[in-house]
Chains A and B, each alone.
Chain A
Amino acid sequence: MNIPEGLKYTRDHEWMDSKGTVGVTDYAQEALGDVVFVELPAVGRILKSGEAFGVVESVKSVSDLYSPADGVVTAVNDALVGNPELINQDPYEQGWIIRMETTGATEELLDSTAYQHQIEGE
């Protein structure tokens, strides 16, 4: 299980980096199975911390994506529209989902060690 050290993690299995890039974790992509469809928000959309902003669908399931912070969407990963499998293949790099400029409150964010503990408990 790949849990890079420099990222922050939510209890919903998403990661965020220092630039506000958001994606799902290796653990999440593994649990989802083959991702076949991604619903992305519009650039400029204002998000509340914890708000559902998009959807990742695998063959078997539909999962909401939740904003890790208050903020505004500044970019979305359009490559996922044609290649949703990037989320499975490279969840922390090419499989990024949105970038946001955070403006306020955040979800409880865990460091890699705390996140590792959480998934070991699941």
Chain B
Amino acid sequence: MMEFGGYDMPVEYSGILQEHDAVRTRAGMFDVSHMAEFVVEGADASAFLDYLVTNVPSKLDDGQALYTPMCYPTGGTVDDLLIYRQGPQRFMMVVNAANYAKDWEWVNAHAGGFQNLHVTDIAEQTALIAVQGPLALQKLQPLSAVPLAGIEYYHAVFDADIAGTAAHISRTGYTGEDGLELYVAADHALKLWERLAQLGVEPVGLGARDTLRLEARLPLYGHELDQDISPLEAGLGMFVKFDGRGDFIGKDALAAQKAAGLTRKVIGLEVSGGIARAGYDVALGDGESAGYVTSGSYSPTLKKPIALALVSQPQAKIGQEFFVSIRNRQVPAVAVKTPFYRRPPA
């Protein structure tokens, strides 16, 4: 067990490699109830969210979700999150547990400029179980009358029934696999978890959650993103929209960064001869520092060490050779195309 965002969470159940494999080849479930949910309601809700984040929530349809960074005026990142549109005047934000208090303050500090707006913290009463893997929908289908395969990617069905419990059923995840995330009342979560276990869905801890998201090149706040790293530098430019919308926090700084050209960027590395861990230095062949590793692990799917690193331009390009400093050894690494893993077409 480890403390994470104020929750005691298991790093592993049966073993990280086995749990990773469960999600890549079968179906695994994660208790990610530590994620925090805020409901944003009112006639100004969509205008407020458009101002708050870099993507454009006002363009969502009912039942649709988007991924978005949320930035400081400097262009650095407050958090990355999901936003669901539950109705024309009702949205749900899902933020990282580690940023829960900071985000709540941030949201409220900017809500003042909007008249018809009400923000509610529903984190405490909301549990979240992610069921991920090629067999996830098949395993879950007997528990619900909702045709699960009919839920489009990044869409959700709200207030549906799953195993007799009211749930938001969302076709989202953080693993690179197909699957669903189930938002349920906290006091029903254990029953649902046990029901899923009976159906052969294997429990997966934080350890495999990290290796799965890393292979899929999904960012983790505090690693690929933080208050000093912009979403553009993190390679999330497609979630930062400048055109056809109003102002948003960080717009000027991000536009200036884009216009000037990025001075550094997150890239993927394959490492030969050691595991590059977060914080290790990355250098060029001549020993000149190029940056640092933001996340690194052994890839259970590729069976070799992989990493993400924030490195200076113009070296942030595929094929560039680096050396990662691992316990005073200079271990060769090469920049590769990401994601490291892409699921096979269904």
Q: B121 at the A/B interface (Cβ < 8 Å)?
A: no
Q: B143 at the A/B interface (Cβ < 8 Å)?
A: no
Report which of A57, A59, A60, A62 forms a contact with B300, defined as CB distance below 8 A: A59
**Are A33 and B16 CB-contacts (below 8 A) given A39-B274, A59-B207, A62-B275?**
yes
Residues of A within 8 A of B11 (CB): 33, 60
- Contact A59–B298 (Cβ < 8 Å): yes
Q: How far is the CB of A66 from chain B (nearest CB, A)?
A: 15
- Contact A62–B277 (Cβ < 8 Å): yes
Residues of B within 8 A of A37 (CB): 274-275, 298, 305
Q: Mark A35-55, 1 if CB is under 8 A from B, else 0.
A: 011010000000000000001
- Contact B277–A34 (Cβ < 8 Å): no
Q: B54 at the A/B interface (Cβ < 8 Å)?
A: no
**Alpha-carbon distance A58/B207, docked complex (angstroms):** 11
Residues of B within 8 A of A58 (CB): 16
A interface residue count range (under 10 / 10 to 19 / 20 to 34 / 35 or more): 10 to 19
Q: How far is the CB of A82 from chain B (nearest CB, A)?
A: 10
Nearest A residue (CB) for B18: A34
Residues of B within 8 A of A33 (CB): 11-12, 15-16, 207
**Alpha-carbon distance A34/B15, docked complex (angstroms):** 7
- Please, how many residues of chain B have a CB less than 8 angstroms from a CB on the other chain? 15
Q: Mark A48-78, 1 if CB is under 8 A from B, else 0.
A: 0000000101111010000000000000000
Nearest B residue (CB) for A84: B298
Report which of B12, B16, B211, B327 forms a contact with A55, defined as CB distance below 8 A: B327
Report which of B12, B275, B327 forms a contact with A36, defined as CB distance below 8 A: B275
Residues of A within 8 A of B305 (CB): 37
**Alpha-carbon distance A50/B327, docked complex (angstroms):** 18
Nearest A residue (CB) for B297: A59
**Are A34 and B17 CB-contacts (below 8 A) given A57-B298, A59-B300, A60-B207?**
yes
**Alpha-carbon distance A62/B298, docked complex (angstroms):** 12
Nearest B residue (CB) for A59: B16
Q: Mark B287-318, 1 if CB is under 8 A from A, else 0.
A: 00000000001101000010000000000000
Q: How far is the CB of A40 from chain B (nearest CB, A)?
A: 12
Q: How far is the CB of A90 from chain B (nearest CB, A)?
A: 16
**Alpha-carbon distance A39/B12, docked complex (angstroms):** 24
- Contact A59–B327 (Cβ < 8 Å): no
- Contact B275–A57 (Cβ < 8 Å): yes
**Alpha-carbon distance A39/B327, docked complex (angstroms):** 11
Residues of B within 8 A of A59 (CB): 16-17, 207, 211, 297-298, 300
1-33 of chain B: CB within 8 A of chain A: 11-12, 15-17
- Contact A36–B298 (Cβ < 8 Å): yes
191-216 of chain B: CB within 8 A of chain A: 207, 211
- Contact A34–B275 (Cβ < 8 Å): no
Residues of A within 8 A of B300 (CB): 59
Q: How far is the CB of B158 from chain A (nearest CB, A)?
A: 36
Residues of A within 8 A of B17 (CB): 34, 36, 59
Residues of B within 8 A of A39 (CB): 274, 327
Q: A33-B15, A60-B11 are in contact. List 4 more A-B contacts (CB 8 A).
A: A36-B275, A39-B327, A59-B207, A59-B211
Q: List 21 A-B contacts (CB under 8 A).
A: A33-B11, A33-B15, A33-B16, A34-B15, A34-B16, A34-B17, A36-B275, A39-B274, A39-B327, A57-B275, A58-B16, A59-B16, A59-B207, A59-B211, A59-B297, A60-B11, A60-B12, A60-B16, A60-B207, A62-B275, A62-B277
For the complex of A and B, list the 8 residue pairs with the smallest distance between their C-beta atoms, beginning with the closest: A36-B298, A59-B16, A34-B17, A60-B207, A57-B275, A37-B275, A34-B15, A59-B298
